[in-house]
Structure 1
Amino acid sequence: MTEIAFFDILRQGLWVAVVMSAPLLGVALVAGLTVGLFQALTSVQEMTLTFVPKILAMLVVFWVSMSAMTALLVDFFHGSVLPVVAGG
């Protein structure tokens, strides 16, 4: 395996990781901003109020997008990683 092929697969793997994590991170950002705004408007400073809604929102998004994430990862491995491992 040449350095160019290695870095190309590494670049593709990092892009797959970014695409897979974007929905979860986006929902965590929106949930955090929403709860933070609610806390600022009502002066409620409860620590679990920021944690629980973020976790619940991220679990829902993960559950909904799990099949798409799996398909993306399988396509990456079948298209990029396995041919290199098999020597092709």
Structure 2
Amino acid sequence: MDDAVFFDTLRQGLWIAVLISAPLLGVALVAGIAVGLFQALTSIQEMTLTFVPKVGLMLAVFWVSMSFMSEALVSFFATRIIPLIAGG
């Protein structure tokens, strides 16, 4: 395998990782900002108030987007990784 194929495969793998993690990270960011704003407005400084909504929302988004994540990974492996392994 030459360097161009290796770096192209690495680039595609990193892009798939970004696509898969974007929904979870986006929800964590929005939930963190919303809870932080709520805490600042009400002067409630409870640590579980920041943790529980984030985890709940991230689990919900993970459950909804799990088929997209699986399809993206399976597609990447079927079209890119397995042909490289089979081709030698």
**What TM-score do the two structures reach when normalised by structure 1?**
0.98
Deviation at 1:87, TM superposition (A): 1.1
Q: Deviations over 1:27-66 (max 9, x none)?
A: 0000000000000000000011001100000000000000
Aligned residues: 88
Partner in structure 2 of residue 21 of structure 1: 21
Percent identity of paired positions between Structure 1 and Structure 2: 69
Moved over 4 A (4+): none
CA-based RMSD of the aligned residues comes to 0.8
Match in the other structure for 1:75: 75
- Structure 1: segments with no counterpart, 5+ residues: none
Which ranges of structure 2 fall in alignment gaps of 5 or more residues? none
The CA deviation at 1:20 is 0.3
Secondary structure of 2:17's aligned partner: helix
